[in-house]
Structure 1
């Protein structure tokens, strides 16, 4: 019983610590302290799709608009990726600005990857 209590305490402490780092990250970013925000984000040890997206947002804030080749495969491996997909449809790290520029070599690969993933998930 003691072990379970200790385990629950440690897990809750870890959760609070990760949340505190996110709060600090957002404070730094909204204060336009990008260097500090980037350093704070590196200390967040979270493998969720939320963290994946926040990292891409931070890349864009730092002026990195090139596609991160590791993002889309990791994003599509999350079971709830579709909820984020539709919300972030026009971001650089997903389909870019395909509504304005049309389909091109930069975004067609991402579109095909998502279509393939969605097709195999439903059939």
Structure 2
């Protein structure tokens, strides 16, 4: 009987030691992975690199994202009206309208001022 208890304790201690080591390696110790990238401009969204070469543009010290990238990764309820040159973002309660190159915008037809102007560069890049 005493021998079975000692064996059981040794198994528990060994299991606890192995479990503690695995927990430390998975959750506590710093990652040893090295991810190498070039100096080129690239975009990573939710730990995935966006493959499109046109996903981002760095222009006048501002990072611009392409409209398809924003539409796919950020918000699929975003639209662009060519005739009014307006960026439209919708949800269940609000309709936001941003005129391009303008410091005013509107939420449900109530105007307000914005500090970051929305731009359309080469008909495909916008700044949000």
TM-score by length of 2: 0.29
Higher-helix-fraction structure: 1
TM-score by length of 1: 0.29
Structure number with greater Rg is 2
Higher-strand-fraction structure: 2
